[in-house]
Amino acid sequence: MSVTDVLATGAEFAPVLIVLGSALLAFLLDVVGVRRLEAVGGVVVAGTGVAFLLVLADLGLGFLGPLRTIPAATVNAVPAAGASPLYAFTSFGLVFQALFLVAAFLVGLASLSRDSHEAGAPIFYGLLGLATVGMLLVAVASDLIFLLLAVEVTSLATYLLVGYTRRGARPLEAAMKFYIIGAASSTLSFFGASLLYGAYGTTNLYRIAAVAGGVGYPVLALLGYGFLIAGLAFKTTLVPFHAWAVDVYDGAPTDVSAFLAGGSKKVGVFAFFLVFLGPVLYVHPGAPGNPFSGGPIALGPIVQLTLAVLAVLTMTVGNVLALLQREMKRLLAYSSISQAGYILLGIAIGTSPALAGATFQALAHVLSKGAAFLVVAGVAGLGVGPLVDDWRGLGSRRPLTCAAFSLLLLSLAGVPLTIGFVSKFVLFSAAVEAQGYFVWLAVAGLLNSALSVFYYARILRAMYFEAPAGGDAGAPPLTSRLAAGGLGYGRAAAIAVATLAVVALGIYPQPVLGPIQAAATHFLGLGA
Amino acid sequence: MLPLISIVLATLAAGTAATFVAGTRARYVALGVSAAFLAEVGLMFAAYPGWPGYNGALVPGFAEQESHAWLHLPWLQINYTVGVDGISLVLILLTAVLQLATVVYSWEERERPAAYFGLMLLTCFGSFGVFAALDILLFFLFWEAVLVPMFFLIGGWGGPRRRYAALKFFVYTHVASIVMLVGLLAIVFYSGATSFDFSAVYASARGLGVLPQSFLFLALLFGFGVKFPVVPFHTWLPDAHVEAPTGGSVLLAGILLKLGGYGLIRWAVEVLPQGFAHDRPILFAVAFLSIAWGSIVSLAQRDMKRLVAFSSINHMGIVLLAIAVGSSLGLLAAVLLMFAHGIVSGLLFMSAGTVHHTFGTRDLGALGGITPTTPVLSTMIMAGSLASLGLPALIGFPAEFTALLATWERLGYWVLLPLGILVVTAAFYLWMMQRVLFGPPRGIPPGAHDVSFSEGAGMGLLVAATVLFGILPSLLVNVIVSSPVKGFPGP
């Protein structure tokens, strides 16, 4: 490896290294005694911000210029036997890196406004940075073990994030539950990977594709894929592997919930993309040169149907259970589960429009759900209780916050002129475009989004149309030290940025959706 | 040439935003915006080739057309395409007139006036967009943009059961619009249209077979029918109307119901002619059902708002009948009827609102002989009722006459059904007026006073429109008939 190669690699890894450095610096500051929230947080927020800009530059002058598609030859050449590159930078992976960094940046920025007397600020920001490093690595994996290890890096950091406050039993319980479930799901994933290794003698995703093209699908491999789906389904909170998510999102500090729902869940989503779509094209039936169409067992249709069923089940169960919730965080958690169903829909369909739609839906979810949790955290800091009913009449008392929250909820419901509408529109139109039974997936998705309107409307109704129990005078005073100043600058800025993006991308999505579409097409071409 | 439609959209959008932040001066901003809107619509009329003199030539395509790329992906070609023809122009005029009248009528609104006027302007903004949009997604965006402000108008300023009514309104119309969207998308993807533009969809949908067309037409009929509303999807309407504040009711009956009629003509009848021909029996059945049900139920109402609401169902049933007839004359009748009903129901809902806060009740059974106390209000009620029952020289007459003529032309003696119902309704209205306006005084609280100046001005504007277009219907007719009728089956 020559010096220029090392430098080139360094340049590609620069975002990862910067975030890693900022995370380590956060821990270091703790050691040397600098524990000011602004200082420690500022390092990590700045790190993620710079890394985000670098990723955009890597994609080719951000979204201003044409997308830089990495030459296919350097990525999709099946590695020679023996050689097994662990990572590959694809433009699609970079899109997801950008998405992960947006989530980390927003959560980091908002958390600058937390109670500065709260212990553990360096730990929080250090762990946030480490979790982000894992996510960034997931996005460039080309090897199954590398992928699962990167997922594990994220998971370990997020287990700790859930319980880092050490205050009260609920976060601890949530962390414990998260850890046990997470460990179990990792076991499933690794077991599946080991079965695949047994079947094909390699863990490189491109080589697996090449070998499977020759030997087809022994039972061992099918079992392996089954375990992988189950393991990743836990991470992605798919029904029936979802039950942990609500308790964890509910019990975790709300900023952490924002990161879990908005950011780290997408790790599982990307892993799904990577295992079933990118290098190997298990799912996309019509792809030219699909090596599996003539195999003895056609894996594609099985995987496709499995994922489709999981997707419909996930969005339906998530939505129905969300209807029954009275607590704000649990409601958002269930709605988050249903949103995972929409994203999975894109994987099940497996065409490049669907993949672009799913990716855009993931972005919509990062912005809308992440920021919604950030609002909930801020409002809880003002002394508002956990129930939806506690939000009664808040619309006139905190008009700006509630206006932003309304826009975010409308986006989650898929109401036009928000990003949530565009993403669902693209996704469902991709399903209709794919024809076949996918049209019914679109119908299921549409019915589900109609259903979801009920519970979002209930929140809007509480905020704007209902008086607090006991009338306006009887409303509990907004108690916190922040009551006078609002949510704090960092949180307000994060919410404002996310809300503006939600509206701007809802009105004119082309500058972001165009590159995503190009990257998705390129990604699907890798396995061809 | 000036991009007039974009200018109107910009005027309304900026005006809405300014109204929201104008605080107590919101009403002045709203009035200015409404006047500018009406003036711009006047310009659009003046620029329309088929107006005012009709020389018998058809105006092909759409006037004021603009098109810009919006979202272009390999499988989605979505543009910002807008344009108007005679049908949309008339309904745009209705929107502008009703907006101005409603702003004037609501002049004394004291409860959060900035938000109230802002939401009203937003509703009109969305409605204008619906009438001008020539791209499926754009159309849908505006369609939904009407929904949200109306939801807040009902829920925020309505009567005692406003929360229930607002939610019911939202859920009914939202579900319907989703079905509509699926139907429109299915047309695009199954017909292989090159873009979401009306012209592209119009051209390619003809390639679909009769059965797909008829299935898609039914989906669109459901989507638009809920907004109409046709029986049996009408139950949201009486609730929404009764609970909505007066301004909301006026816009709801005057403009929102017309969105359904317009959508059915533009996106279903014109785009899917064979499906339309195939499904006409269903249209007739639904139309007759709505006409009969709306009028019979309205006879049993004592609440003036509920009465007008049910008579709206009746009138929109006649609109559906006129569309279903499937001739140029029927289309003319449908558009005229929608215009007439918009003006007249607006007038009646304003009267009902004034009756309510003058006498403390809208219960017609409890009131009697109000004319000596409130002569102006009585005149307004009288004008509205007479126009509603189709008295010549008022706007209702040319509309209903054309509708009956078109029905007779195609359906023969079936015309007796709507005609008979019209006669019964007219008798009922006369009897009601006789009792409420002229009988012995009953139920008049002490100190009841006549309409305020702003209320009178708002209603007077609508009365003027009723008379003007009643005497000179050609002002509207010329515009409508100079637009080519797109897609009617056979002669």
- Range of the structural domain that residue B169 is part of: 4-481
Q: Does A115 score more than 80 pLDDT? A: no
> Which one of B20, B21, B70, B73 would you mutate to disrupt binding with A, by most A Cβ within 10 Å of its Cβ?
B73
Residue A24 binned pLDDT confidence (cut-offs 50, 70, 90) = very high
Q: Please state, in angstroms and rounded to a whole number, the distance separating the CA atoms of residues B149 and B126.
A: 9
pLDDT band at residue B175, thresholds of 50, 70 and 90? confident
In angstroms, the CA B459 to CA A255 distance is: 54
Q: Which residue of B has its CA nearest to A434?
A: B189
Residues 6+ apart with CB under 8 A from A524: A277, A278, A281, A284, A287, A350, A351, A352, A355
pLDDT at A281: 53
pLDDT of A214 above 90: no
pLDDT in tens, A300-321: 677 788 888 999 999 999 999 9
Domain total for chain B?
1
CB atoms within 10 A of CB A385: 13
Is B354 among the domain residues? yes
As a whole number, mean pLDDT of residues B419-446 equals: 85
User: How confident is residue B456, by pLDDT bands cut at 50, 70 and 90?
Assistant: very high
Write the DSSP symbol of residue A478: -
Contact yes or no for A426 and B73 at CB 8 A: yes
Task: Report yes or no: A59 and A98 within 8 Å, Cβ to Cβ.
Answer: yes
Task: Count CB-CB contacts under 10 A for residue B55.
Answer: 8
> Cβ neighbours of residue A303 under 8 Å, at least 6 residues apart?
A225, A229, A276, A282, A283
- Residues of B with CB below 8 A from A507's CB? none
The pLDDT value recorded for residue B254 is 92
Report yes or no on B67 lying in a domain.
yes
Interior/surface letters B338-349, b for 16+ CB within 10 angstroms, e for the rest: bbbbbbbbbbbb
**d(C-alpha A507, C-alpha A503), whole Å:** 6
Pairwise CB contact (< 8 Å): B73 & A465: no
B16, B72, B76: best mutation site toward chain A, by most A Cβ within 10 Å? B76
pTM, to two decimals? 0.83
Closest CA–CA distance from residue B215 to any residue of chain A (Å): 15
DSSP string computed for B134-191: -BHHHHHHHHHHHHHHHHHHHHHH--TTHHHHHHHHHHHHHHHHHHHHHHHHHHHHHH
3-state secondary structure at position B76: strand
Q: How many CB atoms lie within 10 A of CB B159?
A: 14
Q: Is the pLDDT of residue A245 over 50?
A: yes
A-chain residue closest to B156, CA distance: A465
- Cα–Cα nearest to A89, from A110, A68, A75: A75
The token pair at B211 is 């059965």
Query: Does B178 sit within 8 Å of A449, measured CB to CB?
Result: yes
The per-residue pLDDT for range B25-72, each reduced to its tens digit, is 899 999 999 999 999 999 998 888 767 766 666 777 788 889 998 888
Q: Give, in degrees to the nearest 5, the angle at Cα B249 between B247 and B252.
A: 110
- Per-residue pLDDT, averaged over B333-349, amounts to 94
Query: Which residue, among B20, B68, B75, would best test binding to A if mutated, counting the most A CBs under 10 Å from its CB?
Result: B75
B365-380 b/e (C-beta count within 10 Å ≥ 16 → b): eebbbbbebbebbbbb
Is pLDDT above 90 for B98? yes
Q: Could you tell me which of A190, A233, A217, A215 has the C-alpha nearest to residue A282?
A: A217
Residues of A in contact with B144 (CB under 8 A): 415-417
Is the pLDDT at A157 greater than 90? The verdict is: yes
For the cut 60, the answer to whether the pLDDT of residue A76 exceeds it is no
Report the pLDDT averaged over residues A458-465.
Answer: 87
Taken in order A376, A377, A382, A386, the sign of the CA dihedral is positive
Q: For residue A335, give the nearest of A448, A170, A442 by alpha carbon.
A: A448
Residue by residue, DSSP assigns A329-357 as HHHHHHHHHHHHHHHHHHHHH-SHHHHHH
B86 lies in some domain? yes
Render pLDDT for A190-206 as a digit per residue (tens, 0 to 9): 999 999 999 888 888 87
| Mean pLDDT along residues B277-284 | 92
Round to whole Å and give the CA distance between B67 and B129. 14
Q: Could you tell me if the ipTM is greater than 0.85?
A: no
Tokens of A227: 């375990």
Q: Are A416 and B140 inside 8 Å of each other by CB?
A: yes
Residues of A in contact with B171 (CB under 8 A): 453-454, 457
Q: Is the pLDDT of residue A443 over 50?
A: yes
Domain-wise residue ranges, chain A: 3-525
* Beta strands B76-84 and B63-73, pairing class: antiparallel
Q: Which residues contact A159 (CB under 8 A, 6 or more apart)?
A: A175, A178, A179, A182
User: How much is the pLDDT for A381?
Assistant: 82
- The per-residue b/e assignment along A25-38, b for 16 or more CB within 10 angstroms, e otherwise, is bbbebbeeeeeebe
Given pLDDT bands bounded at 50, 70 and 90, which one contains residue A280? low
pLDDT at B438 over 60: yes
Say if residues B215 and B311 touch (Cβ distance below 8 Å): no
pLDDT category of residue A8 using cuts at 50, 70 and 90: low
Cα–Cα distance, B381 to B402 (Å, whole number): 25
pLDDT confidence of residue A102: 95
CA separation for the pair A375, A328 (Å, rounded): 11
Tell me whether residue B265 is in a domain: yes
Between B286 and A39, name the one with better pLDDT. B286
Residue B459 has pLDDT above 50, yes or no: yes
Chain A contact set for B181 (CB, 8 A): 446
For residues B91 and B338, what is the distance between their CA atoms, to the nearest angstrom? 8
Asked whether residue A404 carries a pLDDT value surpassing 80, the answer given is yes
Q: Is A360 on the interface with B (CB under 8 A)?
A: no
Task: State the Cα–Cα distance between residues A225 and A230, nearest whole angstrom.
Answer: 9
A510: nearest CB among B71, B167, B175 = B71
E strand map for B25-114: 63-73, 76-84
Distance of CA B71 to the CA centre of its chain: 30
Give the pLDDT confidence score for residue A4 in this predicted structure. 62
Q: Is A260 within 8 Å of A249 (Cβ atoms)?
A: yes
Domain membership flag for residue B379: yes
Task: Report residue B133 as tokens.
Answer: 């949009």
Q: How many CB atoms lie within 10 A of CB A60?
A: 16
Where is pLDDT greater, at B329 or A437? B329
d(CA B103, nearest CA chain A) in Å: 23
